[in-house]
Amino acid sequence: MTTLDPSSSSSTMDETTNNRHTSDEEQEQENNEIWSTFTDSFREVQAVLDRNRVLIQQVNENHRSKVHENMVRNVALIQEINQNVSKIVALYSDLNVNFSTAFHQKNMDVDADKT
């Protein structure tokens, strides 16, 4: 019959607890990085939307003035608005990819923990 040394089983339990603690810390760090990325992306989107709001107001003012030079300026302003819309689409696309990747990675981690 084999007997267990009490100190060896305690050490194994301590290692398991430490591994879980480290894993929890790593997971929290990953979560913080993911949320930081999302927050930064949403801030960038909001900045572009704010810029477009200003541009649209300027286009409206120029249009109301009916001054030829202002109407000519509107061409460049509208081009910038269009570029900004493309930028917003790209940012949201990146957000979608980042969210999907993070979600699938989380599911894989949970599935791995179950086994």
**pLDDT tens, position by position, 20-36:** 555 778 878 888 888 89
2 burial (CB, 10 Å; 0-12 / 13-18 / 19+) is: exposed
| Cα(85)–Cα(48) distance, integer angstroms | 8
Q: How confident is the model over 65-90, as pLDDT tens digits? A: 999 999 999 999 999 999 999 999 99
pLDDT value of position 37 = 87
| Cα(71)–Cα(58) distance, integer angstroms | 11
Whether the model pTM is above 0.75:
no
Confidence of residue 56 (pLDDT cuts 50, 70, 90): very high
